[in-house]
Amino acid sequence: MKEAFDDNLTDYKEVIPQLFWYNAFIILSNGRESKIGTITSGFEHFAEWKRIRDEKETGDTILDTMVKGTCEKSRFLDILENFTLFSSSEGHPVKIISKNHQYLGVNNAIESFKKRNENEGKIGVF
């Protein structure tokens, strides 16, 4: 994975930067392992996306889990709209994307809040 980042992605960003102008996020994968990050992420900030719907799922790093968890239309748009941040705190623009546990945790908290009346005002423990 590190070699793909160092050898391929870094080269692509230098040689054909226009490829990344409109990209939401970047997936690095060798089929067995997958990581997600952004155009400005260093390798250390690329993270696994092991679960699709719930944090209690058994984690899996294969490409299929990554694609189903991030590229299904509603999830992709949710990540793009609600879980992508642009910051300039480091003196230059930085694009930040949530990690898998953050995405699932926030969405589960929102669903619990919506169901609070059904659960006698309780939304659970976070």
pLDDT at 18: 94
| Model pLDDT for residues 1-39, shown as the tens digit of each residue | 898 899 999 999 999 999 998 999 999 999 899 999 999
Asked if pLDDT for residue 124 goes beyond 70, the answer is no
Asked if pLDDT for residue 63 goes beyond 80, the answer is yes
Alpha helix stretches (DSSP H) within 2-99: 2-3, 10-15, 63-70, 73-82
| Model pLDDT for residues 87-120, shown as the tens digit of each residue | 998 889 999 999 999 999 999 989 888 888 887 7
pLDDT at 125: 61
> pTM of the prediction?
0.85
pLDDT at 98: 98
CA distance 116 to 120: 6
Q: How many other β-carbons are positioned within 10 Å of the β-carbon of residue 104?
A: 21
DSSP single-letter state for residue 122: -
